[in-house]
Structure 1
Amino acid sequence: YNYLCTLPLSIIYTYLHRKQQNAQHHTTLHCLADSLSGCLKTLILVPTPFEFSRENAKAKKLSEQPIMASHSPNLECRMYEARYPEVDMAVMIQVKNIADMGAYVSLLEYNNIEGMILFSELSRRRIRSVSSLIKVGRIEPVMVLRVDKEKGYIDLSKRRVSEEDIQACEERYNKSKLVHSIMRHVAETLGIDLEELYVNIGWPLYWKYGHAFEAFKIIVTDPDSVLNSLTREVKEIGPDGQEVTKVVPAVTEEVKDAL
């Protein structure tokens, strides 16, 4: 018992994991949870000295391997830096539900925040059948009428969006969707929050190139010319104990390779 209490917990965990399926040749020792910092709760399988030294060596080898982060990355994020669309802007929506007063929709470019299209905003003509104008699941451009950022209300119109607005919105959305899928794949592959990736890479590319899609086309053949110019600010404590701001590259080699 005293011997076990002196061991690193990582070694004990490794031993228990390896031996829990073959416990018939071992005696058991019940101990209090707080005897091992509350980490072992039921029983400990006690091995022979030879077996324990063998498992100890395996545990040491495992402890030298890189530890994978247990943090699950957040892969949900809007496509643009602005959290809400601007008034008189065409946005791509998907119809989620049809209620008594209108249709509830998700704004696909803004992380599926909710908006509403009143029935009076479906068509300039007299409405004979709502189902002929809007259906659950349909994806289409609409115009933003009002945005209440405090309450989260977004009023939309289908009848006020022009053909030119529809064409421009569809073109922008298709580019943004491609950029988003690449960013999401990189975030998932590297275990990075998607919004962090957008803050350091995606949104700066929107500022510089008008749309990140244009930057991504260049990255295919010449990634360094695009990615090496991106920087971010980090705060550190200097030798004098004061907080200082440093400018460092925004893109690591790992992220660059993934992109």
Structure 2
Amino acid sequence: MSWTIAEHADAEALAEACATRLGAALDEALRQRGCAVLAAAGGRTAPPILRRLAAQPRDWSAVTVAPTDERWVAAEHPDSNLRALREAFAGAPGLRWQPLVPPRPQGPADATLANTAFTLFDEAFDAVLLGMGGDGHFASLFPGAPTPADALAADGRADAVAVVPDPLPASAPHARVSLTLARLLRSRCLLLAASGADKRAVLRRAAEAGADPRRWPVAALLHAPGAPLEIHWSP
């Protein structure tokens, strides 16, 4: 994959640039097809972007938003990505939602709902907003996690996989359901937003030839064939 890196002066400039780019992608989809589908990350970097995006005027009732990944928790749980996305999009009336997990998950994490749902959204996403952790993970595709072999394969056949991070993150110790690299690559506009010198260093390592996705999962994204990836970074 080819990629570009836009370096912004601060987090506010990054948020404004990403919101503008995502808004343009959604508006192009609405003009061409009358509807749009966005997959968006949780975490700390995405909400300021999404709040700015939600403030833009458009027919939000024609837009569907899905998390790129979700914790195996109830929809109202404080750690739910869907809940965080709903809060960020509070200013977008009529928006449609596509969850990745049941409203009240039971038993082991299971990606059946997500795989069934994204069979319905067979076309490419109109836009995807990804974040990245300091360990190089994106969505919930973590280094060393016991995920199916094709979760980080650009030509994988599954849309979503169940993930149990090892170790579980202290801030959100839950199993997850994550969209796969192959499904995320099927997007007309693919953005990765990251802040901080540590994440810039991870991106440099992952961009090197031969970088191991098992150590730096984002390397699989950077080196995958397909549409260009737009990286937005700020200190």
Q: Same fold (TM over 0.5)?
A: no
The two structures have a TM-score, normalised by structure 1, of 0.20
Higher relative contact order, structure no. (Cα contacts within 8 Å, ≥ 6 residues apart): 2
The structure number with the bigger radius of gyration is: 1
TM-score scaled by length of structure 2: 0.21
Considering fraction of residues, name the structure with more helix: 1
